[in-house]
Structure formats: structure tokens, C-alpha cells
Structure 1
Amino acid sequence: MAILKYLLPALAASQIAFAAKSDNCDGTDKPITIQNQGDAGALASCETIEGDVEIAEHVTGGIALDGVKEITGSLTALGAANMSSLTANDLQSIGKSFELQGLITLTTLGFGSLTEVGEIKWAALPNLQALSFAKGVSKAGSVSITNTGLTSLNGIALDTVGNLDVTANPALSEVNVNDIKNCTGLLNFAANSDKLKISLPNLETGRNMTFRNTSSVSVPSLKSLTGQLGLFGNSFEDFAAPNLTKVGDLVFDNNENLKNISLPQLQTVNGGFQIAKNDKLKEIDGIPKLETITGALDFSGMFETVDLPSLKQVKGGFNMQSKGEFSCDPYDKLHDDGVIKGTYKCKPNLPNPTTKDGSSGTTDGSPAAASSTGAAVQNLANVPVMGLAAVLGGLLQLAM
């Protein structure tokens, strides 16, 4: 019995210590708020933080969140304009959102062990040029990176992702996400460096993909998209998707240097197929297996050759207009044979070729309806034919 005299006080002390530690590591009812480095250091004994962690807006200097391996909720820092660095080199996973916004002096982001995140939402980090993510984030529900100083996405090593939205990062010149195989939502690159080179060597399937203002896009393994593949305002000369067999809407719009389109395995466009304002594209002959377009075919520009030898069905309208001399004979026959179901127009040698909705089909054309946003809005009635994604893409392009 004498030993109990010593054991009971010790047990009671350990329970008090455990309770204090649990409270310190619990952000489920109320987020744990980090006001300074002292608050961050107090979390070092928490391998797991249940709930959310917030970094206060008035934090200055660097914050090092050492010792923590898991945050089951979110890690957020909103408006901490004077925080220069944020590191958490032991942190392996964030269950919900990793959100950073308005950190205008942040230059260092070091998460050497982080591999899993519910979602990444970064915006207005203009001085953040690189990520120190040694292992790389391989799992994320969605990723949005907007208005940062990043020059590459090294450290984002995704396998599968929902949405991947990378926009308005003016220094971003390279994207090479080697491991990504599937994107289940929107993959969007826009308004980054005009020298941006995008390489997605293992991406096989996706939903919607949009590329704007890039100098190179490589998708050698892409096999199918359930939604749109849109290429707007890019500067590359060649686009190839050698393994793509089916896609939703397919749009090539205002790619000023585009000379070659190579889609050698493409058989089905489950939506509209539009080519417009690609003035250097003289030959459209790299799509030899295309059989079915469930929406409209809408080609306009300065092309001199259009060869679609396997075309068997166009369920929507057909508009093909060019300043160049090309032959309408094969398409007249397809129309006569009932292969083309909708309204038919095929016109070579036009001074001002237009798209199906009356917009200019070349960059130097100026028909009355060409650049009117109102005209484009009125043509929302054509959504079932061309596909909503294509129309919205066109509207966004007009606004840029």
C-alpha cells in the first residue's frame, strides 16, 4: 500500500499533463491561432493537431511549425502581409485546405515532408519564387495557384487531382508534373508567362483542359477527355496529341503561330469542333481518323487545305470559310449524302471569313458582328450545338 502513496500523485500529474497537451493540440471547436513564433513553438509536442490552425493577420517575420506531422483540418494564413517565411518540415498531411492569401512579403515556403493535402488555395503571393517541398505533394483534391512569383511548380508532384487551376503567375515559365495521370475536374493554365512550357507526360484522362498564352504544351499520353480541350491565344507552332481518341468540345482559337495540328488517333468529338483565327494554319490535314462530330464543325481562317477523309457524321451545323482556296467538293457530297445534318455553309476565297456565330475567323478581319460581346452573348442559344464550354471559352477570350 505504501507504493500507492507515490504512484497515485504521479498518475494524477500525468493525466493533467495529457489533458493540457490534448487541449493545446485541439482546434476542432475553435481554430488554433498562431500570433507569433512562441505560439508556433508551443505546438511542437503535437504530432497530430485535430482541427484547424490559423496564422494571424498581424504576424511578422518567420513562422516555423516544427514537430507537427498531421493537421486534420485546415492550415490558413490570410492577409499576413508581413510574414516572410512559413515552414513546417515535419508536416506530412493537411486534411482539408492549405490556404495562403495576401502574403505579399512571403519568400520562403518550406514543407519538406508534405505529401497529402485536401486542397491547395494560394493567391497573391507575389514574392514567392520557389517551393521547398522535398517529397512533393502527390495527393490533392484540387489545386489553385494564382498571382504568385513562382517560376516553376517543382514540389507539386500530383498523381490524381480534381481541379488544377494555375493563372496569373507572370514568372511561371515551366510546368512539369510528371506523375499526374488523371484530372477529374478543370485543368486550366492562363495568363502566366508567355514563355510557359507545359509538360504533362503521363496524363491519360481528364475532363476539361484549357491552355492560354503558353509557348508549348506536351500531352503525349492523353487518350480521352469527357469535356473540352481548348487552346486559346498560344504562341506555339505545333500542337500534337498522338494518342487522343475522343474529346468533348475541341477549340483552337487565336493561336497566332500555329501551323500544324496533329491528332492522328482522334475518332470522336462529342461536342463542337472549332478552328478560328489561326492565320498561319494553312493545312488542316492531321486528323485522318475523325469519324463523328456530335455538335457543329466550325472552321474559319486562312487555310488552303482541309482533309477529313474518315468523316461519317456531323450532327450539328457545318461552317467552313477561308480567305484561302480550298475545295468544298468532298463536303458538298457529305452534305448531299446526309452525313452533315445541320445548316451547311462552305465558302473559300472570302475577304472576311466568319465563324458560325458571325465573329471574324481571322485576326485581321472585321465583319460587323465580329468583336461584339453582345453578339456572342446572343449566341448562347447555340449552346446545345457547340457546347457550353466552347461558348464560355469564346466569351472569356473576347474579354481578354
Structure 2
Amino acid sequence: MSLIRYFFHALTVAQLVFAENSCGDVTIQSQSDADSISGCSALSGNVKIDETFSGDLIINSVQKVTGSIIANNATQLTSIIAPSLESIGHSFSLTSCTRLTQLNFADLTSVGEIYWEALPALQSLTFNTGVTEAGDVTITNTGLQNLDGISLKTVGKFQITDNPNLKKININNLQNATDLVDFAGNWDKLEIELPNLGTAYNMTFRNISSVSMPSLEKLMGQLGFWGTKFESFFAPNLTSAADVTFNDNDKLTNISMPELNKVIGGFVITRNDKLVGIELPALKSVTGAIDFSGTFDKVDLGSLEEVDGGFNLQSTDGKFSCENFDNMKDTHTIRGTYKCKAVTDHPTNSNGKSGTSTFHGNVSSTGTSNAASSSAAVPATGLAALFFALAQLV
């Protein structure tokens, strides 16, 4: 009997080893390749969808992929359906799958990284449970109309670009972003709602019609808006940020950041021709330069105590006085180059370029040094260091 038991024990071990070996890397060229792993609840390697695959791909029974799911240039792939898959350890990478129309991952909650590029036929996601964990997310050049099913709590890089049909993004669960959050080149009426985002690193927005971040408290890096179509920006809880830029937002009438007290870098507001006033009542410290130019009539910087870089404030219709700022320059509260003009026909930013969209070209600006300026037209991470370094030249 003991010999028989030993034989069956050895057979069982051999079967387990065989099963384990058969649940590693797999290349799928046809549905039969996918069917061959249907007995595996977990795959310990990568799933590569070959570029020759054609039609709908169904991955049954697999609950976990410790590696990546990859499809590159699978131009005849029309859908991927994985009803039981809960997690992908590394990358979910789909590139140049031009006929892909459906991603059905009903139970998927965790992904190491999402990277989707050149998926023009993909219009929606069937992620019923919702992906709540992902490291970085890059979605570019797709046909997606929304990101329903991406329900992240935290994210590293979140880059959503060149999706011309993307109309609305609401990621209700997102609380923290540790790398670049970037929206650009999507539908120009894109609405973005990030109601619970409290902390972030760099955030840049282009070509959007609205953005809501009522819980945002702290930005470690840049907050920038270029060429947007929203009328008002409201960040009621934001207390600090690095570089802050509002440039060429032609419908912007109001900026409200009542608790903002510190900008660790440069602060640029320029070429926002419908902006009626700049009111930052809690702002105390700017470690770079202040560069405000446009057609606004009101300025409230009543708590300002220090500007380590330059100071440029110019408007066509200013009803404010430069007297307080003159005194701040005299007492070296403003340490860089200084210019304040409440009323001027051609307001310029600190590098001599027009501060309004109604006047073009460079305007000479006697006494204004580039040492305290920033390039409002060129968004870049790390402008804080640039502002600080240039301020030392003054």
C-alpha cells in the first residue's frame, strides 16, 4: 500500500509541476492558444497577443497575470474579453490595434501600468468592478468618450492626450497623484471632475472646457492652464503649489484660490483677456517671480510679504494702485527686477511679449530684465528652479 501511495503522490506532484509550467508566458496567435490556458487561474508570466491574431479574443478562467498583457500592431484584433481577470501585475499595453472596439474586463481591479496608444476604434470600456489600483496611466489617441471603469484611488503619472472624442472624465475616488497629471489635445469641450483629489505633483491642462478639483490642498509641482475654454477656476482649499500658470485662456473670467498662501516658484497670469480681476487675499510668499499682465482692473495681493524673484504687473484697465508694490520694492520685499503699470496700452509680460491676445509681437520694456521673467508660452516642469536661479542674477 505504501508503494501505491508513493506512486500516486509522485504522480500528483508531477501533474502540479506540469500545470505550473504550462501557466507561464504565452503567445496568443489564435483562440485555441487562449483556450489552452483556460485551466490556469493564475499566469506567472506575460500574455503576448501576436500581431497576426484576428477577431475577438476570449481569455477564460484566468484570474491573475503576474506579468503583462501586451498587444502591439495587432491590427485585426477586434476585442479582448477576460471575464474573470482581477489583476495584471505589470503592464496592460495596447498599441496600434486599430480595429479594437471592445475591452471587457468585468472583474479587473488592479494593474501595474496602463499604456494604450493608437486605438482609434475603442470608444468605451466594460470594467464593471472598476480599476482602483494602477501605477501609471497613459491613454493617447483613442476613440474613448469617457474613462468610466477607471476608478483609481492613487496614481503615478496620469497622461490623457489626443483623444478627440473624450467628453467627460470623472474619477471620483482619486485622492493622490504622485507624478504628472496631463490633459491635452482631447475634445475641446472636455469636462474634468476630480472631486476628491487632495494632493498632486504636476498638473497641466490644455483644451478643456471645465475642471473641478474642490478638495485639492497641495501641489508639489506645477499647476498650469493653457488655451482652455473654461470661464472660472475654483480651488477653495489649495494652500501651496510650485509654479502656477494661466496663459491664453480666452474665456476665463475668474480665478478663485482664497487659501493659496505660498507659491514655491513662479506665478504667471497672462493673455487671459476676459479676466476681470486677480484676487489672492492669502498669498504671502512667492519664491520665484510674479508676472501678471492683461486687461484686468482689480488686483488683491493684500497679504503679500515676500517675492524672491522679479515683479511685473501690467494691465490696460487697472483701477488698482502700484503704491504698495513700489514700497515693497523699496524695502526689498520684492528682490528682483520691478515694473508696475496699472494702465498701459500695450501690457507686456516680463520677457517683453504681449500680455494680451489683442496685441501681438515683442514690445521693448525699458528697465525690465529677463532675469526675473518666465516664458508663459512654454510649460515646463521645474520652472521653480529656473526662477530662483535667475533671481540671483539681479
Give the TM-score of the pair, scaled to structure 1: 0.89
Number of matched residues? Answer: 377
Correspondences of 1:33-48 after superposition (within 5 Å): 33-48=27-42
Superposed CA offset, 1:90-136 (max 9, x none) = 11111111100011111110111111111000001111111100111
The Cα of 1:353 is off from its aligned counterpart by 1.6
The Cα of 1:166 is off from its aligned counterpart by 0.4
Percent of pairs identical after alignment? 47
The answer on whether the counterparts of 1:251 and 1:390 sit within 8 Å (CA) in structure 2 is: no
Task: For residue 326 of structure 2, give the secondary structure of its aligned residue in structure 1.
Answer: helix
2:51 is matched with which residue?
57
2: CA distance, partners of 1:387 / 1:80: 35
The answer on whether the counterparts of 1:380 and 1:391 sit within 8 Å (CA) in structure 2 is: no
Instruction: Pick the aligned partner of 1:351 from 345, 349, 363.
Output: 345
Matched letter for residue 170 of structure 2 = N
The Cα of 1:358 is off from its aligned counterpart by 1.9
Task: For residue 90 of structure 1, give the secondary structure of its aligned residue in structure 2.
Answer: coil
Matched letter for residue 381 of structure 2 = A
1:294 is matched with which residue?
287
The Cα of 1:383 is off from its aligned counterpart by 7.1
Task: For residue 22 of structure 1, give the secondary structure of its aligned residue in structure 2.
Answer: helix
The Cα of 1:333 is off from its aligned counterpart by 1.9
The 1:328/1:369 distance shift into structure 2, 3 A limit, reads: closer
Matched, 1:306 2:285: no
Instruction: Pick the aligned partner of 1:315 from 305, 308, 314.
Output: 308
Task: For residue 283 of structure 2, give the secondary structure of its aligned residue in structure 1.
Answer: coil
Matched, 1:169 2:163: yes
1: CA distance, partners of 2:62 / 2:69: 12
Correspondences of 1:233-272 after superposition (within 5 Å): 233-272=227-266
Superposed CA offset, 1:343-372 (max 9, x none) = 0011233232211122221112222379xx
Matched letter for residue 316 of structure 1 = G
2:390 is matched with which residue?
none
The 1:369/1:9 distance shift into structure 2, 3 A limit, reads: farther
Give the RMSD, CA atoms, in angstroms.
2.2
Correspondences of 1:129-278 after superposition (within 5 Å): 129-278=123-272
The 1:40/1:387 distance shift into structure 2, 3 A limit, reads: closer
Matched letter for residue 364 of structure 1 = T
Instruction: Pick the aligned partner of 2:325 from 319, 328, 331.
Output: 331
Superposed CA offset, 1:171-191 (max 9, x none) = 111110000100000111111
The Cα of 1:224 is off from its aligned counterpart by 0.5
Give the TM-score of the pair, scaled to structure 2: 0.91
Instruction: Pick the aligned partner of 2:17 from 16, 19, 24.
Output: 19
1: CA distance, partners of 2:137 / 2:301: 38
2: CA distance, partners of 1:112 / 1:380: 55
1:389 is matched with which residue?
381
- Runs of 4+ deviating beyond 3 Å: 7-17, 379-384
Matched letter for residue 240 of structure 2 = K
1: CA distance, partners of 2:361 / 2:6: 91
The answer on whether the counterparts of 1:249 and 1:387 sit within 8 Å (CA) in structure 2 is: no
2: CA distance, partners of 1:332 / 1:4: 99
Task: For residue 389 of structure 1, give the secondary structure of its aligned residue in structure 2.
Answer: coil
Matched letter for residue 251 of structure 2 = N
The answer on whether the counterparts of 2:336 and 2:372 sit within 8 Å (CA) in structure 1 is: no
2: CA distance, partners of 1:288 / 1:243: 13
2: CA distance, partners of 1:35 / 1:227: 45
2: CA distance, partners of 1:391 / 1:247: 12
Superposed CA offset, 1:141-194 (max 9, x none) = 110000111111101000011110000011111110000100000111111111
Task: For residue 39 of structure 1, give the secondary structure of its aligned residue in structure 2.
Answer: helix
2: CA distance, partners of 1:18 / 1:382: 67
Matched letter for residue 284 of structure 1 = I
